């Protein structure tokens, strides 16, 4: 039977199109069950011994995936009606559902009900699409019921829709809600009840985990139980979407993404071009159940109600809806009277683009409140954390509060039967909803990661929090890898498009222990007196073919992730460590860039070629530096390193003269115990001339390749740009500089570079680097983009003072470089450019994913450093040299160079509420920076925001930004087993000479 179905739809770009779908109805589509005598044996996927079969509806597929993915849930029928609807509504959920269907152990059978003559249904006149789909699933359930012996294996329609269940039961079908199914049929797997998502707005089952335990136990409506009684609303209801859109068009509301402060979860910001600056959202009430990353609509408050960001160090992280910065403020708690809990302010690794409470002390700012959420950014992968300690009854369900490790997020209320056993565990929880009468969002438990504090557990937390894919590569990906041992063969050597460069003195210079060697270098004197410089990059695209399973996986992962003691590869290990790695004394395929340069490093010509090389040495930066410095060594390799270093210094000076910034970021290195993998020592990473030499060669290659690929592919080159920061972004460092008595000119990168060079203090050799670190943090990160996405005037890379830039030199560990290798290969006529590479929208999506994955990898690496620093200090305390980076009314924010960490120190001992002694008024102090370890709890302090000083009221202690100080570093445990580094101010006399920086 042949059916036509046509309808009108609007595309994402607003174009109205007519869609015609043809369906051919068949009767040779099988049930997939061996209990059905008519089913073809080749279709059998459902088990003959299953106690029952489940047929799920769309909402169960969308919202109960954690339940469906549990190993105990098997023999599930997924109708094509459900698959199509899930694909349309949520691609992530669709992919997870597809993965479950592909897992042989799960026995999920996809039944093409829309194409079966007996189960296809046509919409009745006036019937909504939702009602038609519900009816289609009931028809499919009846079809299965008629074929499967119900006394042997009943078929259950699993739906949380009360109306659909009632209709099914009226038709003589078995139908249950998910929670009712767990209670009635799965006494063998009671943990399934914890995985059931609380009711969503799309379901008729109201209430959730926040409901009373007794109500939840008696509930049989498929949800998690209703509320025991109607309660007072704590938050304003979100406005309807249509009203939000109308308000945004008239500038009554402003749309933007909520950014909650990492350092004070009671403050957030929403960027607005119309307002001209970020809008402050202060306190949980005004955030109105929006979470970090949600796209929200904001209404500006009257100017008389505008506020200044909190001028104090954040102290307690509570949960009250009315709480403003630092837990101040009131508001009815309304969720069983949970108290504010004491919390240790956190110490962080310094991150580009982040400042510790950077907006504080800048006067009143435009302030608003969230009136609606346009797009939720709740994580489908869940949130890592632990339960807030409390007494729970043994057995049965308990309502408990879950505390996320990421402090931007509020506590989440969950219901679990495992509360007692989970108190010392890291777990993952998914948010299901947040009602206006609940102080906390409601969610459900999904899995346990391990014991709190164990290195493996906390590393897993870092990976999940940063959305790092740690799944093993699939067989399809491994099938793309050549078998080992692999060697360059006659075909590669005979390739006329590949130059034999094995005779050159090529070497690689990398960090110690590097196995995935992307790049190697050479320089030699030419007969005409000039030099030939060569940068040789692993020829990854020779093995990673466009569109292959390995290519798609690499594109998804985006980058290799480097943790302190572990590496999560973008490509399979045989490629990264062997076949592609430019190891010494083995022949390897490369993509080479060769330049002829004169004595002053002026480029005379450039040549690109695929090549074969044989590296003479794999050196560390220190080994290469030792060769350069040891004048007794005159071998060919050492002489070439000296020559390259000389040319690199000329290039570096030329870039600096053009306005390239010599920025800085704190980097630390760990000495790791080979048996326990715990840190034995930690210190500052030393930058040598050889680091800068390699950097110059990589920059040279990346710029050359950017110019070449853009010349040939003006609309689809993948480039990297660093946008010019606005003066407002430099505000934190400009204020600090002015207070410290020096000026920074940020008009151009060249002016900034010159003023950074002049920022020195005779009494503090570290001062200049600290200023560069603080300046770097004012800038946004560089971003990948397609050349067709913006005007050529916007291609500029501010930090490098380069008109064009891209990434070409690390294809083993960055997918961006893989894309660029294909562009360069096509540009020099070696191979045609894949059609997918010319797709502007595909390139845009690719660059967005690369930016996201690059950022996530950076954050995971930084989190790993924080974790290992915490482990290092777990059983020891150290007095360390520090510098003041911000002054506050009740304390300081200090940076500890040796360990690359920044955090708060209080000027007075904290009281029982974890708050420092009060500070009132404002003023200015004078005299040398105080050297004492703080003051008594009765002492008051005066903050002068303009002078960036904080002074004791009696004048005995004064601190200013950039002052030297000393801190004791230790570890304290806060709520929910949160172990944190804690900095305490001490007298500099306690600082050992060995710990002094500069």
pLDDT tens-digit readout, 254-302: 999 999 987 788 889 998 878 878 899 999 999 999 999 999 999 999 9
Q: pLDDT tens-digit profile of 857-883? A: 999 999 999 999 988 888 888 999 999
The predicted structure's pLDDT at residue 975: 65
Higher pLDDT, 911 or 484: 484
The predicted structure's pLDDT at residue 345: 53
DSSP E strand stretches across 598-694:
603-614, 617-620, 668-672, 679-684
pLDDT at 934 over 60: no
Sign of the four-CA dihedral 358, 360, 361, 363: positive
Provide the 8-state DSSP code for 120. Answer: -
Average pLDDT over residues 676-690: 80
Distance set, CA 372 to CA 90, 250, 306 (Å) = 21, 16, 20
Are the C-beta atoms of 57 and 159 separated by less than 8 Å?
yes
Q: Which 3 state secondary structure label does DSSP give 894?
A: strand
Average pLDDT over residues 334-346: 44
Read off the pLDDT band of 144 (50, 70, 90).
very high
The predicted structure's pLDDT at residue 312: 77
The predicted structure's pLDDT at residue 353: 47
Average pLDDT over residues 1-6: 58
Are the C-beta atoms of 897 and 770 separated by less than 8 Å?
yes
Average pLDDT over residues 636-647: 96
Q: Burial code of 985-995, b = ≥16 C-beta within 10 A, e = fewer?
A: bbebeebeeee
Backbone torsion region of residue 280, taken as left when φ is above 0, otherwise alpha when ψ lies between -120 and 50, otherwise beta: beta
Separation between Cα atoms, residue 242 and residue 252, nearest integer Å: 13
The predicted structure's pLDDT at residue 73: 95
Q: Under CATH, to which class is 874-909+939-995 assigned?
A: mainly beta
The predicted structure's pLDDT at residue 513: 86
Separation between Cα atoms, residue 532 and residue 101, nearest integer Å: 57
User: Which residues lie across from 116 on neighbouring strands?
Assistant: 26
User: Which residues lie across from 536 on neighbouring strands?
Assistant: 520, 592
Give percent above pLDDT 70 in the chain.
86
Provide the 8-state DSSP code for 578. Answer: I
Closest CA to 464 of 377, 406, 550: 406
Are the C-beta atoms of 244 and 297 separated by less than 8 Å?
yes
CB atoms within 10 A of CB 584: 16
Average pLDDT over residues 673-701: 85
Read off the pLDDT band of 360 (50, 70, 90).
very low
| Domain residue extents for the chain | 28-185, 383-452, 475-636+659-724+781-864, 727-778, 874-909+939-995
Are the C-beta atoms of 978 and 424 separated by less than 8 Å?
no
**Burial class, 292, CB count within 10 angstroms (exposed 0-12 / middle 13-18 / buried 19+):** middle
Distance set, CA 263 to CA 292, 313, 713, 992, 996 (Å) = 13, 9, 44, 30, 28
The predicted structure's pLDDT at residue 952: 87
Read off the pLDDT band of 919 (50, 70, 90).
very low
Q: Which 3 state secondary structure label does DSSP give 701?
A: helix
Q: How many CA atoms lie within 13 A of 839 on its CB side?
A: 9
Separation between Cα atoms, residue 449 and residue 457, nearest integer Å: 6
Q: pLDDT tens-digit profile of 521-570? A: 999 999 999 999 999 999 999 999 999 999 999 999 999 999 998 899 99
Q: pLDDT tens-digit profile of 759-799? A: 998 888 889 999 998 898 888 889 999 999 999 999 999 99
The predicted structure's pLDDT at residue 231: 73
pLDDT at 931 over 50: no
Give the least confident one: 179-188, 311-320, 567-576, 820-829.
311-320
Are the C-beta atoms of 875 and 960 separated by less than 8 Å?
no
Q: Which residue has the tokens 């595909």?
A: 842
Closest CA to 895 of 992, 967, 970, 821: 967
Q: Which 3 state secondary structure label does DSSP give 626?
A: helix
The predicted structure's pLDDT at residue 393: 73
Backbone torsion region of residue 378, taken as left when φ is above 0, otherwise alpha when ψ lies between -120 and 50, otherwise beta: beta
Q: pLDDT tens-digit profile of 711-735? A: 999 999 999 999 998 888 888 889 8
The predicted structure's pLDDT at residue 465: 94
End-to-end CA distance of the chain: 83
The predicted structure's pLDDT at residue 574: 96
Give percent above pLDDT 90 in the chain.
59
pLDDT at 108 over 90: yes
The predicted structure's pLDDT at residue 903: 86
The predicted structure's pLDDT at residue 547: 93
The predicted structure's pLDDT at residue 924: 35
190: tokens are 């009671």
Give the least confident one: 127-141, 847-861, 928-942, 969-983.
928-942
Asked if 383-452 and 874-909+939-995 have one fold, the answer is yes
Separation between Cα atoms, residue 218 and residue 397, nearest integer Å: 12
Are the C-beta atoms of 961 and 740 separated by less than 8 Å?
yes
The predicted structure's pLDDT at residue 208: 36
pLDDT at 320 over 70: no
For 28-185, which CATH superfamily applies? 5'-nuclease (3.40.50.1010)
Helix (H) or strand (E) holding 547: none
Are the C-beta atoms of 285 and 371 separated by less than 8 Å?
no
Give the least confident one: 203-217, 313-327, 947-961.
203-217
**Burial class, 586, CB count within 10 angstroms (exposed 0-12 / middle 13-18 / buried 19+):** middle
Read off the pLDDT band of 351 (50, 70, 90).
low
Q: Express the helix, strand and coil content of the chain in percent, nearest 5 each.
A: 30, 25, 45
Q: pLDDT tens-digit profile of 367-421? A: 999 999 999 999 888 999 999 988 877 767 888 999 999 888 999 999 998 888 8
Read off the pLDDT band of 209 (50, 70, 90).
very low
CB atoms within 10 A of CB 15: 8
583: tokens are 């190891």
Distance set, CA 167 to CA 141, 163, 366, 862 (Å) = 12, 6, 53, 54
Read off the pLDDT band of 694 (50, 70, 90).
very high
Q: pLDDT tens-digit profile of 325-337? A: 333 333 333 344 4
For domain 383-452, give the fold: OB fold (Dihydrolipoamide Acetyltransferase, E2P) (2.40.50)
- What phi, psi does 462 have (nearest 5°)? -60, -45
Give the least confident one: 72-76, 572-576, 956-960, 970-974.
970-974
Give the least confident one: 223-237, 605-619, 980-994.
223-237
pLDDT at 81 over 90: yes
Mean residue pLDDT of the chain comes to: 85
The predicted structure's pLDDT at residue 977: 67
Read off the pLDDT band of 211 (50, 70, 90).
very low
């Amino acid at each position: 039977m042949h059916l036509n179905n046509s309808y009108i739809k609007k595309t994402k770009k607003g174009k109205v199109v007519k869609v015609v779908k043809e369906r051919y109805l068949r009767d040779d589509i099988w049930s997939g069950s061996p209990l059905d005598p008519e089913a073809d044996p080749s279709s059998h996927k459902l088990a003959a011994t299953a106690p029952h079969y489940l047929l799920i509806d769309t909402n169960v597929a969308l919202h109960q995936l954690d339940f469906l993915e549990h190993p105990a849930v098997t023999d599930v029928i997924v109708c094509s009606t459900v698959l199509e609807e899930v694909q349309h509504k949520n691609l992530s959920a669709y992919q997870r559902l597809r993965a479950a269907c592909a897992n042989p152990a799960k026995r999920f059978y996809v039944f093409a009900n829309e194409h079966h003559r007996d189960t296809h249904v046509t919409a009745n006149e006036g019937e909504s699409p939702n009602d038609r789909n519900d009816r289609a699933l009931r028809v499919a359930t009846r079809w299965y019921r008629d074929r499967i012996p119900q006394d042997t294996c009943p078929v259950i329609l699993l739906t949380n829709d009360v109306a659909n269940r009632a209709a099914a039961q009226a038709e003589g079908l078995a139908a249950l809600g998910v929670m009712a199914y767990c209670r009635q049929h799965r006494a063998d797997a009671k943990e399934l009840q914890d995985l059931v998502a609380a009711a969503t707005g799309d379901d008729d089952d109201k209430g959730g985990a926040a409901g009373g335990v007794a109500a939840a136990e008696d509930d049989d409506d498929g949800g998690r139980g209703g509320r025991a009684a109607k309660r007072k609303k704590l938050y304003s209801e979100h406005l309807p979407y249509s009203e939000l859109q109308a308000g945004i068009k008239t500038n009554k509301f402003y749309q933007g993404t909520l950014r909650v402060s990492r350092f004070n979860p009671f403050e957030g910001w929403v960027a607005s071009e119309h307002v001209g600056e970020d809008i402050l959202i202060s306190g949980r009430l005004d955030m109105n159940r929006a979470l970090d990353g949600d796209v929200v609509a904001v209404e500006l408050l009257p100017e008389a109600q505008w506020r200044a960001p909190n001028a104090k160090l954040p102290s307690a992280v509570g949960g009250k809806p009315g709480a403003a910065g630092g837990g101040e403020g009131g508001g009815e708690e309304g969720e069983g009277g949970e108290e504010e809990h004491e919390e240790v302010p956190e110490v962080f690794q310094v991150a580009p683009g982040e400042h510790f409470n950077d907006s504080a002390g800048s006067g009143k700012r435009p302030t608003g409140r969230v009136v609606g959420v346009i797009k939720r950014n709740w994580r489908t992968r869940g949130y890592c954390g632990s339960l807030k300690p409390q007494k729970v009854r043994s057995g049965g369900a308990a309502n408990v509060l879950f505390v996320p490790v990421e402090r931007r997020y509020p506590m989440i209320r969950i219901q679990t039967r495992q509360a007692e056993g989970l108190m010392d565990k890291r777990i993952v929880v998914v948010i299901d909803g947040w009602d206006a009468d609940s102080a906390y969002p409601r969610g459900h438990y999904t899995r346990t990661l391990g014991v709190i504090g164990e290195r493996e557990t906390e590393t897993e937390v870092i990976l999940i929090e940063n959305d790092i894919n740690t799944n093993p590569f699939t067989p399809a990906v491994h099938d793309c890898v050549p078998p080992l041992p692999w060697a360059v063969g006659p075909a590669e050597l005979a390739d006329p498009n590949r130059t034999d460069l094995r005779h050159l003195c090529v070497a690689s210079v990398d960090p110690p222990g590097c196995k995935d060697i992307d790049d190697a270098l050479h320089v030699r004197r030419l007969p005409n007196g000039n030099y030939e410089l060569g940068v040789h990059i692993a020829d990854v695209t020779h093995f990673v073919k466009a569109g292959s399973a390995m290519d798609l996986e690499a594109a998804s992962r985006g980058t290799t992730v480097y943790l302190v003691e572990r590496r999560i590869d973008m490509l399979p290990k045989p490629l990264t460590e062997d076949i592609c790695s430019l190891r010494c004394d083995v022949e390897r395929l490369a993509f080479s860039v060769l330049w002829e340069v004169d004595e002053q490093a002026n480029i005379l010509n450039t040549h690109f070629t695929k090549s074969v090389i044989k590296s003479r040495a794999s050196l560390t930066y220190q080994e290469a530096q030792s060769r350069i410095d040891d004048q007794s060594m005159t071998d060919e390799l050492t002489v070439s390193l000296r020559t390259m270093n000389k040319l690199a210094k000329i290039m570096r000076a030329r870039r600096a003269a053009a306005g390239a910034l010599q920025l800085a970021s704190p980097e630390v290195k760990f000495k790791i115990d080979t048996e326990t993998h715990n840190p034995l020592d930690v210190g500052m990473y030393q930058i040598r001339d050889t680091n800068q030499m390699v950097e110059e060669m990589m920059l040279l290659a990346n710029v050359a390749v950017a110019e070449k690929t853009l010349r040939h592919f003006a609309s689809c080159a993948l480039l990297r740009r660093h946008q010019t920061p606005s003066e407002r972004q430099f505000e934190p460092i400009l204020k600090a500089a002015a207070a410290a008595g020096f000026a920074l000119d940020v008009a151009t990168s060249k002016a900034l570079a010159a003023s950074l060079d002049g920022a020195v203090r005779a009494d503090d050799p570290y001062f200049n680097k600290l200023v560069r670190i603080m300046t770097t943090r004012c800038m946004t990160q560089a971003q990948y983009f397609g050349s067709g996405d913006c005007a050529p005037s916007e291609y500029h890379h501010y930090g490098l003072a380069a008109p064009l830039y891209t990434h070409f030199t690390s294809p083993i560990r960055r997918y961006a470089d893989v894309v660029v290798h294909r562009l360069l290969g096509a540009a020099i006529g070696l191979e045609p450019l894949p059609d997918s590479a010319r797709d502007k929208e595909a390139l845009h999506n690719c660059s967005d994913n690369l930016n996201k994955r690059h950022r996530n990898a950076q954050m995971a690496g930084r989190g790993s450093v924080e974790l290992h620093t915490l482990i290092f200090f777990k059983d020891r305390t150290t007095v360390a040299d520090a510098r003041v980076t911000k002054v506050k009314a009740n304390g300081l924010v200090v940076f500890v160079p040796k360990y690359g960490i920044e955090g708060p120190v209080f000027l007075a001992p904290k009281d029982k509420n974890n708050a420092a002694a009060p500070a009132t008024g404002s003023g200015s102090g004078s005299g040398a920076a105080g050297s004492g370890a703080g003051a008594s709890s009765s002492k008051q302090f005066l903050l002068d925001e303009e002078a960036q000083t904080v002074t004791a009221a009696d004048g005995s202690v004064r601190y200013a930004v950039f002052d030297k100080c000393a801190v004791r570093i230790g570890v304290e445990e806060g709520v929910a087993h949160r172990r944190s580094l804690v900095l305490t101010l001490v007298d500099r006399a306690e600082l050992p000479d060995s710990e002094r920086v500069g």
